[in-house]
Each structure stands twice: as structure tokens, then as C-alpha cells.
Structure 1
Amino acid sequence: MLFAFRAVVLTVYFLLGCMLGLLLCIVRPFHRNNTRDCAKIFSFGRWLLNIDMKAINDSPVGDGQAIYVTNHQDILDVFIYPGMLPGNITILGKSSLRFIPVFGLLFWLAGNIFINRGNKTKAWETMAAVACTVKKRGCAVYIFPEGTRSRGKGLLPFKSGAFALAIEAGLPIVPLVYSSTHKNIDLHRSHSGKVLARYLPPISTEGLGEDDVKRLAEITRERMQEAINALDAELAVK
């Protein structure tokens, strides 16, 4: 019963958040902080879920430029993750998001970037074009390197896009990890659970080229998996 009630409340809140965010973006379209400020609206959803979230540290680059990569778990991410976003950031999203009523328009007006991930043969060319946009704007980028929600399966293999972009743009990778929500969150309980979040040290892309994309992805995934395991272990003893 509690789960069903929360599902209804969150759906209503998501729609309300989209409308409030859209109003903000209409007033100041493509502003450098639109994504962060709209994210704050959605982050209040975790209070409706009674989820405690602890941010262990702040971004090591502040509002500076970097390519942020984070683990993508489930639909709750939209309410749990936003509180960690720095300013001056844009989200890289699949092109199909533009067709979601209201949200697609909000995503665009906030200054986020759509990409077509269907053509793998042109992946490097696509990221080269995105890199030009990122350099021109002077912004950071936020990407889910798994490309889809893991839904309790753990950290999935990484796609190459985020790492190709980081190398082409000459920006560091900044991993951002969250504890496993499928292990620590239960929406059937009054107090749904806890989430820990941590920024990892930047990974330099200086001197790297196209041939280094796969190894960069592997190194990043290894560090993120180790950090997620540590966060889960920390929650397990509390």
C-alpha cells in the first residue's frame, strides 16, 4: 500500500517538477546553471520517499570543466542523484528523450545535449562534434556511461562515448558513485533507506588518443566498482 501511494505521489511530483523547471527555463533559456537548478527541484523527491542521502565530498573541480560519469541504477536516480550536480553542467542524453512530453522540452531548454547513439560507426565523429560544443560553452558534461539503467544487476559494461568525448575535449574524467539502491532502499518501508555518494579523484586524459578510449573506460569502471563496493560495505555495518 505504501509503495503504491509513493508511486502515485512521485508521478505527480515528477510532472510538477517538469512544469516548474520548464517555467524557469523559459525565463532564462540555456542558462549555464539551468540543469543544476532544475535538478534541485527533482531532488526534493527523496524527501517524499524518506531516503537519507549523504554526500561524502564535493566535486574536485568545483564548477570547472570535466566529464562526469556515474552509475545508472533505476528510475529513482532522477530523485536521488540531482542533489550532487555542480553548476555549469550539461547532461548528455539519448535523442529519444526529446519526444517525452514536457520533459523533452525542459531537457532542451535547460541547455542539455541530445545525441544519436544508434550509429556506432560514427561514434567518434559524434563525440568530436559534442566536444566542439562543450569547448564553446566552457561547461562540464554529465553522462551515464552504462547507457541504460542496471536495475539491480550491478555496474554494467561501459560504452565508449563518455571517454571519447573526454579525450577529444581534453577534459578529465570525474567519476561520481552512489551506493547500490537495490540493496539499501526499500520503498515498502516507512524509512526507505540510505544512500551514500562520493566523487572520486579526476582521471587525466592528457596525451591520450582514440586508441586509448577502451583502456580509459576500463580503468574508470574498475575504480568506480571498487568505490561502490566500499560504500555498500559502509552502509552494511551501520
Structure 2
Amino acid sequence: MRFLRALLAWLSVPVLCLLGLFLCLARPFNPDNTRILGWAIAHTGRCLLGLERPLDGYDNMPLNRPTVIIANHQHNDDLFLMGDLLPPRTVAIGKASLRWIPFFGQVFWLGGNVLIDRKRSSRAVAVIQTTAEAMTRERKSLWIFPEGTRSHGENLQPFKKGAFYAAIAANTPITMVCAEAYRSEARGRLGRRRPVRLRVLPPVETRDLSSDDVPELMARCHREMSQAIHEMGTGEWA
């Protein structure tokens, strides 16, 4: 039963992306394409997995001004947990290899999202800088997994600097989305996934900060996210 649930959930992704391709072709690079598709994928996936996602603090998510959203990245199943949390006009940063995933890669690109090659760090920094300028000019928000890779349910990994430089350059707050540590294979009765709790923390303003403040800003966000993840794991729920 658990294998069937997971199979159906992941089979739904290319099907929904194929349908989303028509939306993206009708209005290419519209930043709300990703939000609509993310909502459909997340709700469908959670339904098929039998996954509950208690959510706390979504009222902290800025909906009427740009923000840089950072989230901890544990498994591919994060797509089902967080895909429907994007505020209006949000684009995401993803690794360049995503473009080769059938249907998903194409709608990711046509959704106005940003693909970067992390092996070419100077190029990646330039792309993020350009994205920050677009955030200001086009009033977009940006979603980034600052760890740069999956943690597989382990401790929060060190952050890369791109998200923080982008927030300061665009003069936008940083909004932190925290998922409690979970194992993607953990199942309950009838193969249903065990609930995974999420918490959105209050935005951290970057007004009056400069690039010199990036290390301190990174440390603060890492500390606050680590604390929230730990609290959820010990059953402390605001």
C-alpha cells in the first residue's frame, strides 16, 4: 500500500506538469504559473500519500510585498509539503539539471523560475544578482533552499550566501519556512504518511543592511530555523 501511494503521488507530477505546460505556453514566464502548478502538485501529492501537514504561522508570509523565502530541504517529498505555500508572483531558484526532467523542467523554466549551475559559482552569483534586480523592478518574490542540497532529515546544513545577498540587494525581508525533521519512508496505518509539521517564522528585515552584514544575517536565520525545527521535533507547537 505504501509503495502504491508513493508511486501514484510521483506519477501525478508529470501528468500535472503536462497540463501545466498548456498554461505556461499560454502565458510564458508569468510568475504566477509556478504558484498555480505548485498548489496542484502539493494538494494532489498529499492526498495520494495520505499526508497531513499541520501549518503554523502562515500569516507571517508577506503577500503584498516581495520577499526572499528560505526553507530547509530534506527530501524530494518537500515538493508535496511546501509547493502550495508560494505567495503571489514568486519564482524559485533551482539547479540547472532540473531542465532535463520531462515536463517538470519545461514548466519550471516557462514559469519564470531561475536555473543556476552551482559548479560555476561566479555565474550563479551573477544570476542571483540579476534576479534580485528583477525582484525590485517586477515586484517578485524568490524561493530558495539555502542549504543547496537535501539533508535527508539530518540537522540543518550550512547555508550558501546567495539568498542573503539577493535579499539585501533587493531590500526585501527574508521569510523562513521550517519543516520538522522527517523520513520520507515513514508510514502509519494503511501506508499513510505520518504528519509533517511546518512553521513560517516572522520575516527578518534587511533594510539598512549591506553585503558586509551577510555573515551575521546568515547566522541569525540559521539559528532561528534550527531552533524552530528542534521545537517541532520535541512536540513544542505554537
TM-score, scaled to structure 2: 0.90
Q: Distance in 1 between matches of 2:35 and 2:54?
A: 18
Does 2:69 correspond to 1:57? no
1:65 Cα offset (Å)? 0.4
| Equivalences, count | 234
* Superposition map of 1:77-116 within 5 A: 77-116=78-117
Structure 1 31/59 Cα, relative in aligned 2: closer, same or farther at 3 Å?
farther
Point out 4+ residue stretches in structure 1 off by more than 6 angstroms: none
Q: Distance in 1 between matches of 2:159 and 2:82?
A: 19
8 Å Cα contact 1:176-1:200 kept in structure 2: yes
Query: What do you get for the CA RMSD once the two structures are aligned?
Result: 2.0
SS in structure 2 of the partner of residue 142 of structure 1: strand
Q: Distance in 2 between matches of 1:115 and 1:59?
A: 30
* Superposition map of 1:216-227 within 5 A: 216-227=217-228
Q: Which amino acid aligns with 2:200?
A: Y
1:31 matched to which residue of 2?
Answer: 30
2:45 matched to which residue of 1?
Answer: 45
8 Å Cα contact 1:21-1:41 kept in structure 2: no
Unmatched runs of 5 consecutive residues or more in structure 1: none
8 Å Cα contact 1:64-1:88 kept in structure 2: no
2:186 matched to which residue of 1?
Answer: 186
8 Å Cα contact 1:65-1:171 kept in structure 2: yes
8 Å Cα contact 1:175-1:199 kept in structure 2: yes
1:64 Cα offset (Å)? 1.9
8 Å Cα contact 1:54-1:195 kept in structure 2: yes
Q: Distance in 2 between matches of 1:30 and 1:88?
A: 11
SS in structure 1 of the partner of residue 52 of structure 2: strand
8 Å Cα contact 1:160-1:217 kept in structure 2: yes
Structure 1 91/123 Cα, relative in aligned 2: closer, same or farther at 3 Å?
closer
* Larger mean Cα displacement after TM superposition, 142-151 or 109-118: 109-118
Q: Which amino acid aligns with 2:233?
A: D
Q: Distance in 2 between matches of 1:189 and 1:150?
A: 26
2:197 matched to which residue of 1?
Answer: 196
Q: Distance in 1 between matches of 2:210 and 2:3?
A: 49
1:122 Cα offset (Å)? 5.4
Structure 1 16/169 Cα, relative in aligned 2: closer, same or farther at 3 Å?
same
8 Å Cα contact 2:57-2:200 kept in structure 1: yes
1:92 Cα offset (Å)? 1.2
* Superposition map of 1:162-173 within 5 A: 162-173=163-174
